[in-house]
Chains A and B, each alone.
Chain A
Amino acid sequence: QKEVEQNSGPLSVPEGAIASLNCTYSDRGSQSFFWYRQYSGKSPELIMFIYSNGDKEDGRFTAQLNKASQYVSLLIRDSQPSDSATYLCAVKVWGGYNKLIFGAGTRLAVHP
């Protein structure tokens, strides 16, 4: 079992819809969770991080964390074609300092 799992996609949504990206993790010692966006040929760009159970909103993005279920998700409201990218979920574990464990990423395609 991989430590951080994501559906590879592609997840295809129409412009203006809500895109829902999911991530599960196996280590219960995981302390904080990050979502990065990566365009083809570019480096990852931090979108959001969350470390408490519940929801965290930032503009069109909402991160949701459920530690009991070991599940974290990212919702993108009013999806735009410019949101088309690979979304990487990353986890930081207690005692790992700044080591991030990444999932394989979910490719999102927003079509007009």
Chain B
Amino acid sequence: KAGVTQTPRYLIKTRGQQVTLSCSPISGHRSVSWYQQTPGQGLQFLFEYFSETQRNKGNFPGRFSGRQFSNSRSEMNVSTLELGDSALYLCASSPTGGRADYEQYFGPGTRLTVT
């Protein structure tokens, strides 16, 4: 089975711009979660989508948004970029939602640099 794919892998943007990142989960997986990883804050949960619905959201400003399509692919968008948004953005997929023992598999990530 192919793993989680994320595009693009690297991105350089300027403050004030917006960006859209894409994630394709493992085939058959319906849950997609997004995380931000920075040296200072570590790995932090952004949001989770399941069956095209956002089920959970982390403590990030409204500039961070996402969506999921009927084929389970997901996108996240960051508007009005700030220097502090520079990070590795990781997408993780799970077979379904709710069971305690279903693990999450991470994609390679998108490295976003804001200048």
Contact = CB atoms under 8 A, between A and B. Distances in A.
Contacts of A46: 103-106
A43 B108 contact: yes
Interface in A45-84: 45-46, 49, 51
What DSSP secondary structure best describes chain A's contact surface?
Answer: strand
Given A45-B106, A51-B100, A88 B43 contact: yes
Q: Say which size band chain B's interface belongs to.
A: 20 to 34
Q: Say which size band chain A's interface belongs to.
A: 20 to 34
B75 interface: no
Contacts of B94: 98
B56 interface: yes
Nearest to B102: A98
B101 A98 contact: no
Nearest to A104: B42
A34 interface: yes
Which of A31, A36, A97, A103 has the most chain B CB atoms inside 10 A of its CB?
Answer: A97
B106 A98 contact: no
A31 B98 contact: no
Interface of A: 31-32, 34, 36, 42-46, 49, 51, 88, 90, 92, 96-105
Given A99-B56, A102-B43, A102-B44, 4 more contacts: A96-B56, A97-B50, A98-B50, A98-B92
